[in-house]
């Protein structure tokens, strides 16, 4: 439905279309699968200028300073690529770290 964004009555609703992706990361303890959700906002959320936000379902770098991979962009590709870059950049150190 190409016109889905017209269903938003006001920007504060932050209506978004969700795109789902997965990525397998290899690490010492075995493989772990990350699920990445990219939100395509009808209008950029307050304080932002870009409509696409990607966020992973798991943190990385848990033993040092845990970070949840994410990324903003003006396209699905840019936001997703930023999120994937963070997943690749930091080690996955397990859920119980």
Tell me whether residue 97 is in a domain. Answer: no
pLDDT at position 94 over 90: no
What 3 state SS string does the chain have?
A: CCCHHHHCCCHHHCCEEEEEEEEEEEECCEEEEEEEEEEEECCCCCCCCCCEEEEECCCECHHHHCECCEEEECCHHHHHHHHHHHHHHCCCCCCCC
pTM: 0.90
pLDDT tens figures, 6-55: 999 999 999 999 999 999 999 888 999 999 999 999 999 999 999 999 99
Q: How confident is the model at residue 97 (pLDDT cuts 50, 70, 90)?
A: very low
Q: How confident is the model at residue 1 (pLDDT cuts 50, 70, 90)?
A: low
Tell me whether residue 16 is in a domain. Answer: yes
Tell me whether residue 83 is in a domain. Answer: yes
Domain count for the chain: 1
CA–CA separation, 17 vs 13, rounded Å?
A: 13
Tell me whether residue 96 is in a domain. Answer: no
Q: Which domain holds residue 52?
A: 4-89
CA–CA separation, 4 vs 18, rounded Å?
A: 12
Tell me whether residue 95 is in a domain. Answer: no
Tell me whether residue 12 is in a domain. Answer: yes
Cα separations (Å) of 43 from 2, 34, 73? 14, 27, 13
């Amino acid at each position: 439905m190409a016109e889905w964004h017209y269903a938003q009555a006001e920007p504060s609703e932050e209506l978004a279309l969700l795109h789902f992706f997965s990525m397998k990361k290899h690490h010492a303890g075995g493989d772990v699968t990350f699920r990445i959700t990219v939100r395509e906002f009808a209008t950029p959320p307050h304080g932002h200028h870009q409509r696409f936000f990607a966020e992973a379902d798991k943190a990385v770098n848990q033993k040092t300073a845990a970070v949840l991979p994410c990324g903003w962009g003006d396209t699905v590709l840019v936001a997703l690529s930023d999120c994937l870059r963070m997943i690749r950049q930091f080690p996955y150190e397990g859920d119980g770290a």
